């Protein structure tokens, strides 16, 4: 998966948290693995450091700590740093963008502009790039959140779309680059075993969870104006749902994959505002204990209003109105300060229609497939087997695809894969505008109802969220999977 040709990767927000934790480490890993063209350059753009020497000092002090668990290869690190150039830039000064244009001397190189900035800067940066002709034959990467609601999202997309064509725009969702999500596609569309079962006749329910132990950290100001529904559901969770539920694409080219995801998003059953309390639970964490350490309530976090009604937890029941999934509930859940850090997809299959093996078979439960995205990336298929000894006593056992055991070569991190896709011009794992619009349209009734009514339900930090989230599943005769190892 080596980059096909020379490139210039321009990183706006070059001293930001995302650049430090994810983007630069991902580029280093691609460099160390020999996946970047030797002539490729990285141009960091920021307004803090005075010159390249100062910026490289910042990179050595802050980025190294976030690079690969396997440690730093000092020779590879030195040659990676040699790729980095720096431009100090003030967005309010047109002459600074002239300086940026002059720094991008290789006209034959593929130009990538990564906007690791707040969304309020997306449009000004795009206009400034266009003013010096840097939008031509370039690619632009937009980080979430792209807007606050459908109207603001459309406004950003309209403005960016006047400067960059849709095929130049890469709206990034890093969950789509995770190895188990790629393996979900392989599992479904590369194996005859699963496709006949991947439908309402055999699937009872599906759960998708993204749980975090962390609170809002130093992002209180941002988070209090965003909330879990905008921050996680509208993008990550609905994107994962669309991959789980999509029809087999004609091929893996970008539009074939994204067309099928769009069909799922458009088939989501609209939520009647009168029914929101039945299918949507919002919560906010109070003080509690996580791994033996006391943690504060959300309302006391720095940057958060003391009377905040912002949700830090969301659980939803979602239905898809199409032939494959009619009547199958999809349960989505995400939250901060929960009992564990885990992201997983759980496919619960229906029980056998008649248990010829007695009561123990019923107690042992039905088959399920667990696709874990983090912290350990695995796919497990749970089946029933007879326990050793006298009698027909059944127990749940599993077949385990542990990637680190089957594949000895190191796994590619999500950002590494996605950045290589941008450089190579592959759009399949990026969100198209019509997908984004369909997702915003579906969540807007919930946003509007929550804005007009009440406060989130409290839950203690270190738990799995409000009891109402469990009660919602109990009404369907199931429960959240919370004890998996």
Report the mean per-residue pLDDT for the chain: 90
Q: How far apart are the first and last CA of the chain?
A: 32
**How many C-beta neighbours within 10 Å does residue 96 have?**
18
Is the confidence at residue 2, as pLDDT, over 70? no
pLDDT at 406 over 80: no
pLDDT band (50, 70, 90) for residue 88? very high
> How does pLDDT run across 289-324, given as a tens digit for each residue?
999 999 999 999 999 999 999 999 999 999 999 999
The residue among 1 and 443 whose pLDDT is bigger is: 443
Mean pLDDT of 338-348: 95
Which residues make Cβ contacts (< 8 Å) with residue 362, sequence separation at least 6?
351, 355
Listed residue (414, 406, 398, 427) closest to 180, CA to CA: 414
Which option is the CATH number for 176-365+393-412+434-474: 3.30.360.10, 1.10.486.10, 3.40.50.300, 3.40.718.10?
3.30.360.10
Query: Is 31 known to be catalytic?
Result: no
Q: Tell me the two tokens of residue 390.
A: 């006298």
Q: Which helix (H) or strand (E) holds 86?
A: strand 84-88
Q: Measure Cα distances from 25 to 33, 167, 425 in Å.
A: 12, 26, 21
pLDDT digits (tens, 9 = 90+) for 430-484: 999 999 999 999 999 999 999 998 899 999 999 999 999 999 999 998 999 886 4
Q: Is residue 360 predicted with pLDDT exceeding 70? A: no
pLDDT in tens, 139-179: 999 988 788 899 999 999 999 999 999 999 999 999 899 88
Does the global pTM surpass 0.85? yes
Res. 377 pLDDT band, cuts 50 70 90: confident
Q: What is the pLDDT of residue 485?
A: 47
* β-strand partners of 293: 290
Segments making up each domain of the chain, as ranges = 7-143, 176-365+393-412+434-474
Beta-carbon contacts of residue 93 (< 8 Å; ≥ 6 apart): none
Contact indicator for 340, 212 with CB cutoff of 8 Å: no
- pLDDT of res. 400: 85
Q: What is the pLDDT of residue 408?
A: 64
CA dist 164 and 456 (Å) reads: 40
Residue 364 has pLDDT above 60, yes or no: no
pLDDT tens per residue across span 174-225? 989 988 888 888 888 988 888 889 999 999 999 999 999 999 987 889 899 9
Q: What's the pLDDT band for 253 if we cut at 50, 70, 90?
A: confident
Arithmetic mean of pLDDT, 410-438:
92
Strands (DSSP E) along 375-444, which ranges? 378-386, 394-402
- Candidates 378, 397, 379; CA nearest to 387 is 397
Point out the catalytic residue in the list 31, 236, 286, 398.
236
Q: Which CATH class is domain 7-143?
A: alpha beta
Cβ atoms 116, 19 nearer than 8 A: yes
């Amino acid at each position: 998966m080596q980059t096909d040709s020379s490139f210039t990767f321009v990183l706006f927000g070059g001293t930001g948290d995302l650049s430090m934790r994810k983007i630069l480490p991902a580029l280093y890993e691609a460099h160390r693995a020999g996946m970047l063209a030797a002539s490729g350059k990285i141009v960091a753009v920021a307004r803090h450091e005075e010159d390249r020497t100062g910026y490289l000092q910042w990179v050595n002090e802050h980025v190294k700590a976030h690079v690969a668990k396997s440690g730093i290869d000092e020779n590879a690190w030195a040659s990676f740093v040699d790729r980095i150039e720096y431009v100090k830039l003030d967005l309010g000064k047109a002459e600074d963008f002239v300086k940026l244009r002059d720094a991008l001397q290789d006209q034959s190189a593929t130009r990538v502009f990564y906007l690791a900035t707040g969304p309020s800067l997306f449009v000004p940066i795009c206009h400034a790039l266009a003013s010096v002709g840097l939008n031509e034959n370039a690619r632009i990467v937009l980080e979430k959140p792209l807007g606050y609601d459908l109207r603001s999202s459309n406004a950003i997309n309209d403005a960016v779309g006047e400067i960059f064509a849709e095929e130049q725009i890469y709206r990034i969702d890093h969950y789509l680059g995770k190895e188990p999500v790629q393996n979900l596609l392989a599992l479904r569309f590369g194996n005859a075993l699963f496709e006949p079962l991947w439908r309402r006749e055999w699937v009872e329910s599906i759960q998708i969870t993204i749980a975090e132990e962390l609170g809002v950290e130093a992002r209180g100001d941002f988070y209090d104006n965003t909330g879990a529904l905008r921050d996680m559901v509208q993008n990550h969770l609905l994107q994962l749902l669309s991959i789980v539920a999509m029809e087999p694409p004609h091929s893996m080219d970008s539009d074939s994959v994204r067309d099928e995801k769009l069909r799922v998003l458009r088939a989501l059953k609209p939520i009647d505002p009168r029914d929101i309390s039945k299918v949507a639970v919002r919560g906010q964490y109070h003080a509690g204990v996580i791994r033996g350490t006391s943690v504060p309530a959300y309302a006391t976090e720095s940057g958060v209003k003391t009377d905040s009604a912002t949700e830090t937890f969301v659980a939803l029941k979602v239905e898809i109105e199409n032939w494959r999934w009619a009547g199958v509930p999809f349960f989505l859940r995400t939250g901060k300060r929960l009992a564990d850090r885990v992201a997983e997809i759980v496919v619960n299959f229906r029980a056998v229609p008649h248990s010829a093996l007695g009561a123990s078979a019923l107690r042992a439960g039905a088959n399920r497939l667990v696709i874990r995205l983090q912290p350990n990336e695995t796919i497990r298929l749970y089946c029933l087997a007879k326990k050793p000894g006298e009698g027909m006593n059944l127990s749940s056992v599993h077949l385990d695809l542990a990637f680190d055991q089957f594949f000895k070569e190191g796994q590619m991190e999500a950002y590494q894969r996605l950045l290589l896709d941008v450089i190579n011009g592959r759009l399949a794992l990026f969100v198209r505008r019509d997908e984004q619009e369909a997702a915003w349209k579906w969540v807007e009734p919930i946003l509007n109802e929550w804005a007009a009514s009440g406060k989130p339900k409290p839950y203690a930090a270190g738990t799995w969220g409000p009891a109402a989230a469990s009660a919602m599943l109990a009404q369907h005769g199931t429960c959240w999977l919370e004890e998996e190892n």
